[in-house]
Structure 1
């Protein structure tokens, strides 16, 4: 069985910790009971799945903005990068062509699809593995995993069974009904649709062929923008007749709002903060070094990051998406990258020129790419660590107190011998990602020649 892990979303409901590149699944707020360290939802899901499926049998599909963060948190898992966001059907279709043409997976092999942002017990993923056997045994077109509802929700789709024994056959779907309709569906024995799928790889390849699309990965990449902007449920599942399902009656939760997320956090204060004794059921999540103190406030969330500050009553936190206005995510103020992280400290604009100040951390043994810029000059001030700085082919050792001047068109990179932090001041216009020109550099050869 091959598993496709879906990683997407823009993180609007968990602002200000989440942003356009750091969606909810990357927030390190959950406790790993085995290590005692904080982990993110994607790390938790990957850890749980690794107990059921071999890591080499998993791939992730995501958008460009999340690639570095996935590399940082999961390592070298294969990643299928969507050229643009087009919902779950295009994402899954592209991943299936990658499995077929790049990895040589046969059309009759079962493929599972799971999201990386569910909060479940490890037993849930045993059910995912059981779906593989069920689809093979019943010759079903697709297998689903139904969740026993705990309340009438309008956020989920519902599976209506027509037969229920060791497994279900599905009569119909109801996608996101009203709460009143959901209550009646639950009385009739309906289950939540968990968004977990299992199907023979050929199901999707045949669907693409019938619609006139390529089934080779590189070719479908070129056609990606023409794929239907549709969910996998609407495009595939609702058009099938031979559908089977397993049920899961234990703990399953979507941590999509601050209210639900804080229910699963192991500590009330993360970061530099303090609560008075009468601040009951209140959580502080602070990513800045400035202290946050809360006195006499109950049932609230105070979330602080470089992107902003949120103070909300917990039930009201579900309205977060309604308050977000155009331009809020125009520039992520904090990002994890494959080499470390950066935080924006200040952004100003004077006389037609922008000045952007960042604090960057490059982890031990990691490097920034060898690159140059057309429209900006940079000044780096090393504040800690030890690193090799390369500028226009010349290498030198840098440490705390060193100041590095990088004019436009000057090729430069840095490799951290030990974890290195520095302040970067960019001056120019426009200060955009498109002004980075990356150059291939053989780091093994470069570092060996230095040593």
Structure 2
């Protein structure tokens, strides 16, 4: 069985920590077995290894998140990048055709598709190795994994199984996509399950589906059509039209941690970062990425979240409203981003007579490099704040230590390699003609 993990998501429900550049699965907030913390994607990688699935894993990420996905998976798994975001069906097909065209998967092989951004117990992943036998014994064309709902939710889709069946699986009767709370209660009374977004099928099943859609089975040809493909979800494109689908029931813990309320419930401490909770602050959590203290006094049931992108103070149950609020307001230049080489923080932006001046902090990981690139702006300066490395400037290599300053002008090729952890302050001057190059750095 080949396991394809889809990790191309982004979202605003965990703003200001998550956004278009940093998905929730990269947030290193969850308690880890060693007493430290880990990200959601790191936790999933660990659990897949424990379940003996690590040799068959392929990650499909959006090309903008290739480097950061490799970084947070420890470069232990193959990662391919889809050229555009076209939904879970298209991403799953992209991954499956990669395996097929490379000769790594045959039509009779089982493909399992799952999201990389989920939080589940170890028993959840121990169900995966059972999928090939269940598909064979049930003679189903599609297998889904559902979990017993912990409460009525309007944030998840539901799978309604047939009554009876075997202990291992049940036939699928119908689906309900994110119903209102009243309908969710009715579905739970019908023994409906939350849809975990996990699907298993023979590769030949997907190849036949692509053929009926008039899409190629060759990976390169499929990729060439990617830009013109519509957004398609696997649920709506495949699952809801299948007449031979079964669902495997998981009875343990599962969540997509898609809100501050659900994420806060998984944190070891009510305080992450600088600050404090004082007085009656039951069920209140602080997550502070800033280097300034954040204090909450006598306010129960809230989240107080601070990052370079902004500050959110909200009732835990109401924090999801931030997604709608942000959609109604223009999005500013992202102030924080993580990359394969480290991270950057926009400290200041100021207009002058000729354009815009950006002040950016760069944090490079040991033995990582910001690869050589041309200067696309009027000018750029780097001052080394800490650490040791080397700077390449127009084919010349110079040692870079604390206090060193390097200046580039338009067209200069430049890059930096960190021997140990480095921090730099960048001053970038942009003119009106540079408006197409306002993006701070690629991931």
**Count of residues in Structure 1 that have an aligned counterpart in Structure 2:** 437
| 2:3 and 2:53 in contact (8 A); partners too | no
CA distance in 2, matches of 1:43, 1:398: 33
- 1:427 Cα shift? 0.6
| 1:128 and 1:145 in contact (8 A); partners too | no
Gaps of 5+ in 2: none
CA RMSD of aligned residues (A): 1.9
| 1:32 and 1:39 in contact (8 A); partners too | yes
Report the 3-state secondary structure (helix = DSSP H, G, I; strand = E; otherwise coil) of the residue aligned with 2:369: coil
**Structure 1 stretches of at least 4 aligned residues deviating more than 6 Å after TM superposition:** 434-438
CA distance in 1, matches of 2:319, 2:372: 42
Residue 192 of structure 1 corresponds to which residue in structure 2?
A: 194
TM-score of the two chains, using structure 1 as the length reference: 0.92
Residue 82 of structure 1 corresponds to which residue in structure 2?
A: 82
Residue 227 of structure 1 corresponds to which residue in structure 2?
A: 229
Residue 296 of structure 1 corresponds to which residue in structure 2?
A: 298
CA distance in 1, matches of 2:315, 2:180: 24
Residues 337-378 of structure 1: per-residue CA shift (max 9 Å, x gap): 111111111112222411111111111111111111233311
Q: Which of 360, 379, 385 is matched with 1:383 structurally?
A: 385
- 1:178 Cα shift? 2.5
Residue 99 of structure 1 corresponds to which residue in structure 2?
A: 99
Task: Say if 1:357 and 1:326 are closer, same or farther in 2 by CA, change over 3 A.
Answer: farther
- 1:127 Cα shift? 1.2
| 2:375 and 2:408 in contact (8 A); partners too | no
| 1:342 and 1:361 in contact (8 A); partners too | yes
CA distance in 2, matches of 1:325, 1:22: 17
CA distance in 1, matches of 2:102, 2:308: 40
- 1:425 Cα shift? 0.8
- 1:102 Cα shift? 2.5
TM-score of the two chains, using structure 2 as the length reference: 0.94
CA distance in 2, matches of 1:288, 1:328: 23
Residues 234-275 of structure 1: per-residue CA shift (max 9 Å, x gap): 101112111122101111123111111100001111111111
Residue 71 of structure 1 corresponds to which residue in structure 2?
A: 70
| 1:7 and 1:62 in contact (8 A); partners too | yes
- 1:435 Cα shift? 8.1
1:343-358 paired onto structure 2 within 5 Å? 343-358=345-360
Task: Say if 1:214 and 1:321 are closer, same or farther in 2 by CA, change over 3 A.
Answer: same
CA distance in 2, matches of 1:129, 1:295: 49
Residues 411-446 of structure 1: per-residue CA shift (max 9 Å, x gap): 1111111111110111113265588999xxxxxxxx
Report the 3-state secondary structure (helix = DSSP H, G, I; strand = E; otherwise coil) of the residue aligned with 1:164: coil
Matched, 1:164 2:174: no
Residue 13 of structure 2 corresponds to which residue in structure 1?
A: 13
